[in-house]
Chain A
């Protein structure tokens, strides 16, 4: 067991997490957040934050042996008018404002990237077309950093697509000005050999709303930290996620919502389906309601549907409340099996096995997909789910 880290409650460094000494979130970290990889010991696998992750499949991202190969990953950004896209060096002051790396790989990414992309949506610009970021792996090792910043009252949709093969550690910062609205869809549609680790930090401005949709289908190992904190009151965050973990895949989503500011809302809903020997999904949902965060309203939910034997789910919702003056707080986690009795019931009504499975999985995801609110993304996801099912049956 990791020792409790003595991090002062109410610590206010921008983007760092501030937790009580006895918080399990704190005890879960083997070192305090830091931009410098040297501040983190090389994990050995028994640490609370690493215990679900097969380190040997990180291909050296965790121990400094993964050396960037140059051109390992191509990033192409397509943005409509009213958006500025820049490639900047490490010293750009706009990097790293939404959050600080919380584990060694995120810090490695931050310590190793050479150039970062900064996408800025001007104040009050309301985009009618999404910003598209294509991250395509060319088979190499890469470290990256991206910033998406919305000025006050700007509105934008960003779709980030990850495809190809790569060993990638990359962080993303989302900085939302006051009253801004940002929807981000991050699709991990990697080849089956890819490794992708990263921290996605959102800093939600006063009265701003952030909606994140994380969709993970591919990769040998994907481990993401979607994290939210608030820069002012009245902020809202919706964290939706969907994963389809196949044979041999490890897909890990570690959420944290840090309610450090009064009168903010958060809602997290992740759903995953698993099939095949060695499919492993991990979901950690940490929600902190700090003493100052009066009027917080939060709910988090994770549901898993296990389609075959041999798949494994670790689902750990965790809600820590330091003030009773809240509107609501709750969590739910459930892992169900698509079992032989269900299959028998459907088949006894003439439905063949493949169709039966499809029916159940489609139904399972439908309600979540409907919450995305972007018809083309919704259609694409449903198609992708069908394809995943076809490929496996």
Chain B
């Protein structure tokens, strides 16, 4: 059973010629089949955690460890992590001019699966998955994220999640910017993947809204670069009623 283990993770960035520590000792274990919601105020470091796990070069790991089934994730390049089974649905996916969605998906599936998917079944697989996310088939011919609306970008991220079938999926604010219909469609996509029981999910969100569609097994409150409190789904209800004030120093922000 695949397990992602994060131990005492410290991460900093270089900003204005100074080193700024953003993650200050994160401990978390995500097992295959589990869903963990990470909730926290703006700027608490949620995206930093997501990017650090995926290997974004901007973030420097200063101490701690991350392993996937015992393998040292921090030693791997970004593409190696993806091939090892990590997937990050990004909060702000970038445009890639000149690269069509269909070409991108196929190249990526080929890389992750280790061999090119059979063309006939692949076309069908993509079509059906897109249909499930209510994406117009014309999207396949557009350039990756180019001119996509916020909601379309998120559907495209979940499309990749469904096609790449990772061991651990990190979803960074996949819910933000979605209207109720889109939120339901995207959540259904995530749930299809979860129902296989083969993915561990790290659901990063600012709002409890998405938790009505995707039921977490665990809820963690993220504040000031670390997990401030962990609990079951009931913790989300508490946050819904009380907000993050209790976790933010001086009660400001969020």
Contact = CB atoms under 8 A, between A and B. Distances in A.
A347 B77 contact: yes
Contacts of A38: none
Contacts of A340: 57-58
Contacts, number: 87
A350 B83 contact: yes
Given A353-B79, A359-B99, A363-B99, A348 B88 contact: yes
Interface stretch (B100-108, B178-186, B204-212, B215-223): B100-108
Interface residues of A, number: 25
Q: Is the interface of A mostly helix, strand, loop or mixed?
A: helix
Interface in B85-119: 87-88, 90, 93-100, 103-104, 107-108, 111-112
B98 A345 contact: no
A149 B104 CA distance: 45
A340 B58 CA distance: 9
Interface in B15-58: 54-58
Nearest to B145: A345
Given A340-B57, A342-B94, A363-B143, A347 B79 contact: yes
B54 A348 contact: yes
B107 A342 contact: no
A348 B82 contact: yes
A2 to B, nearest CB: 36
Contacts of A347: 55, 77-79, 82
Contacts of B98: 305, 360-367
B51 to A, nearest CB: 9
B38 to A, nearest CB: 19
B12 interface: no
Interface residues of B, number: 32
Interface in A286-330: 305
A342 B98 CA distance: 12
B160 interface: yes
Contacts of A350: 79, 82-83, 108, 111-112, 164
Contacts of B96: 342, 345-346, 359-360, 363
A70 B161 CA distance: 64
Contact of A359 (B78, B94, B95, B103): B103
18 contacts: A340-B57, A340-B58, A342-B94, A345-B90, A347-B77, A347-B82, A348-B79, A348-B88, A349-B107, A350-B83, A352-B77, A352-B79, A353-B77, A359-B96, A359-B107, A363-B98, A363-B143, A367-B98
Given A345-B90, A351-B82, 19 more contacts: A305-B98, A336-B97, A340-B57, A340-B58, A342-B95, A345-B93, A346-B96, A348-B78, A348-B81, A348-B82, A349-B111, A349-B164, A350-B79, A350-B108, A352-B77, A352-B111, A360-B96, A363-B100, A363-B103
